[in-house]
């Protein structure tokens, strides 16, 4: 199927994904649970404020049914050989391939990403499914040499149980998939509570997987509950049937979830806010730096956890480079995300516009100078101008993540000082340096360099590949998802010792003869 968006008509996109009902169910224990609801949620298109669809919010009784169903299926799924689980995940990946044009368009309609980014998000889901398939033959444990004769010692990894996935609005499909595809090959069940700002993508994504699972007798292994935080979210994080809660969202949310889950001795995998900086050294390839910064700060309307929020320019290049950056910003085409040529769509809603306006007013009050942008765009929908704010020192407002296209630009003389300022925020997700100097690059990547989970040279802060472990330090939460050995979070480790001798010696030479 072509990746071209054949239709930007919301009704056609929803019909292609089987979402045409006037009110869609919000609780899915495999198939939908109907008959009751905790109210109705409207999903809006941020490009024009129109209602895309309506969803019946899940009740607590429905939540219970969804978790129960996933637990029943997990009891069988955990014993399916991992490569066979991988084969079922492979089929899910195929279904995402087949549905990519429609699902990508729905991502654009529901959260305002431009067309290529909506498709790119679904591609991430396909990629992580492929990754998980390979992984299903590589869930390796180590073997160790026992100190006791006639003994063998090794560790193995077992399925962990039911995984609660709580996702943010800005990656309404891929962040759940990072968790769900790995959890599935690891032998777990998954119950998903998506953002109430993107319920339709969640329903479409769930149904794609449910069709595959049902065909193999595992209907309901993946469950979906679209409900309020006070009713469903809080119940979920307190629920001891979830040994792991994987949550993506704001630091405020992560503090709450981390505390609650730790109190019950559960594990949490937290992917929280970022506050990402780029350093541009005097020897940088400035054309690359310009493109890296522009995409990092303006792409997805600044609504990625990895969006570039701060730039530190070496003083020798600052004036000319800033002028080029301002010129590039003024050429950004803002508009309907599904119209070809649009580079920046809307913010998710008018609350986000208000936070953008407040952050700019605060920055100006603290001495920042707006070089370009700074205003709401005068058209229907939640559109704003991408904004550059010059600062002499670091502004206090820079300590906070504002989920909008605001870039703070400062200058530096000494690389040590630039790295210190880059690290001097509560968050620690992504970071970059543009330099052609080997020593500067290694200094940035060294143990006293960037303190972030992601450190890049000559690429921007956003746009990570799924093959690496993704996540950040400090208030970003410390979690790691996607590639490398992130799968271990979804399994439990067991150390096993087998005695094939005729004696039973104790470790450390201890005697206990009776």
Catalytic positions are 271, 305
Among 167, 372, 387, 432, the residue binding ligand NAD under the rule CB under 6 A is 167
Number of amino acids touching ligand NAD (CB under 6 A): 30
Q: Assess contact for 201 and 107: CB atoms under 8 A.
A: yes
Among 159, 249, 299, 381, the residue binding ligand NAD under the rule CB under 6 A is 249
Q: Does 179 bind ligand NAD (CB under 6 A)?
A: no
Which of 302, 295, 296 has the alpha carbon at shortest distance from 402?
302
Distance of alpha carbon 482 from its chain centroid, rounded? 9
Q: Strands 276-280 and 308-314: what pairing?
A: parallel
Which of 218, 209, 460, 195 has the alpha carbon at shortest distance from 349?
195
Among 124, 127, 271, 336, the residue binding ligand NAD under the rule CB under 6 A is 271
SS3 1: coil
Q: Does 274 bind ligand NAD (CB under 6 A)?
A: yes
SS3 282: coil
Q: Does 336 bind ligand NAD (CB under 6 A)?
A: no
SS3 419: helix
How many angstroms separate the CA atoms of 179 and 163, rounded? 9
Q: Does 412 bind ligand NAD (CB under 6 A)?
A: no
Q: Does 275 bind ligand NAD (CB under 6 A)?
A: no
The least distance separating ligand NAD from the CB of residue 471, rounded to whole angstroms, comes to 6
Helix (H) or strand (E) holding 94: helix 82-111
Helix axis angle for 82-111 and 174-186, nearest 10°, is 170
Q: Which is nearer to ligand NAD, 399 or 497 (CB)?
A: 399
Among 74, 96, 131, 171, the residue binding ligand NAD under the rule CB under 6 A is 171
The least distance separating ligand NAD from the CB of residue 179, rounded to whole angstroms, comes to 11
**Buried/exposed code over 113-131 (b: 16+ C-beta within 10 A; e: otherwise):** bbbbbbbbbbbbbbbbbbb
Among 46, 112, 233, 374, the residue binding ligand NAD under the rule CB under 6 A is 233
The least distance separating ligand NAD from the CB of residue 20, rounded to whole angstroms, comes to 25
Q: Does 429 bind ligand NAD (CB under 6 A)?
A: yes
The least distance separating ligand NAD from the CB of residue 166, rounded to whole angstroms, comes to 5
Stretch 147-166 residues interacting with ligand NAD (CB under 6 A): 166
Q: Strands 427-428 and 473-474: what pairing?
A: antiparallel
Q: Does 356 bind ligand NAD (CB under 6 A)?
A: no
Which of 74, 131, 135, 123 has the alpha carbon at shortest distance from 99?
123
User: How many other C-beta atoms are found inside a 10 Å radius of the C-beta of residue 269?
Assistant: 25
Among 55, 88, 135, 168, the residue binding ligand NAD under the rule CB under 6 A is 168
Site string for ligand NAD, 278-307 (x = CB under 6 A): ---------------------------x--
Contact residues toward ligand NAD (CB under 6 A) are 166-171, 175, 193-196, 229, 233-234, 237, 248-250, 253, 256-257, 271-274, 305, 401, 403, 429, 476
């Amino acid at each position: 199927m072509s990746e071209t968006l054949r239709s930007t008509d919301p009704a056609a996109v929803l019909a292609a994904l089987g979402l045409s009902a006037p009110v869609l169910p919000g609780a899915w224990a495999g198939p939908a649970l109907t008959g009751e609801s905790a109210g109705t949620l409207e999903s809006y298109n941020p490009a024009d404020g129109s209602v895309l669809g309506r969803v019946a919010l899940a009740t607590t009784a429905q939540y219970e049914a969804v978790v129960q169903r996933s637990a029943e299926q997990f009891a069988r799924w955990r014993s399916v050989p991992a490569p066979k689980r991988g084969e079922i995940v492979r089929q899910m990946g195929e279904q995402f391939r087949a549905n990519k044009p429609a699902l990508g368009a729905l991502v654009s309609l529901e959260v305002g990403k431009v067309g290529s980014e909506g498709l790119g998000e679904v591609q991430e889901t396909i990629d992580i499914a492929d990754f998980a398939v390979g992984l299903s033959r590589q869930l390796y444990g180590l073997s160790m040499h026992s100190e006791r004769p006639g003994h063998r010692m090794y560790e193995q990894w077992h399925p962990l149980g039911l995984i609660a996935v709580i996702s943010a609005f800005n990656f309404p499909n891929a962040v759940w998939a990072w968790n769900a595809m790995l959890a599935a090959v690891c032998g777990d069940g998954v119950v998903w509570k998506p953002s109430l700002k993107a319920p339709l993508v969640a329903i479409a994504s769930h149904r794609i997987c449910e069709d595959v699972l049902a065909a193999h007798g595992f209907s309901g292994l993946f469950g979906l509950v679209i409900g309020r935080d006070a009713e469903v979210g809080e119940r979920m994080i307190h629920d001891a049937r979830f040994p792991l809660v994987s949550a993506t969202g704001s630091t405020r949310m992560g503090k709450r979830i981390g505390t609650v889950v730790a109190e019950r001795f559960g594990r949490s995998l937290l992917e929280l806010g970022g506050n990402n900086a780029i350093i541009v050294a005097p020897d940088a390839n400035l054309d690359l730096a310009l493109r890296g910064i522009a995409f990092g700060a303006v792409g997805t309307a600044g609504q990625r956890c990895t969006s570039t929020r701060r730039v530190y320019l070496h003083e020798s290049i600052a004036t000319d480079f800033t002028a080029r950056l301002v010129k590039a910003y003024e050429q950004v085409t803002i508009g309907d995300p599904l119209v070809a040529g649009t580079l920046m769509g809307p913010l998710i809603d008018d609350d986000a516009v208000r936070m953008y306006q407040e952050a700019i007013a605060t920055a100006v009050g603290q001495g920042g100078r707006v070089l370009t942008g700074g205003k709401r765009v005068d058209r229907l929908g939640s559109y704003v101008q991408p904004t550059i704010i010059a600062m002499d020192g670091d502004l206090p407002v820079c300590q906070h993540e504002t989920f909008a296209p605001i870039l703070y630009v400062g200058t530096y003389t000494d690389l040590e000082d630039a790295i210190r300022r880059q690290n001097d925020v509560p968050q620690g997700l992504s970071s970059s340096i543009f330099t052609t100097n080997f020593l500067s690059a290694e200094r940035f990547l060294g143990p006293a360099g960037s303190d972030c989970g992601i450190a890049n040279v000559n690429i921007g802060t956003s746009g990570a590949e799924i093959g690496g472990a993704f996540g950040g330090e400090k208030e970003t939460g410390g979690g790691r998802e996607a590639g490398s050995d992130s799968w271990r979070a979804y399994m439990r480790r067991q150390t096993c010792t087998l005695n094939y001798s005729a004696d039973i010696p104790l470790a450390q030479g201890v005697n206990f003869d009776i």
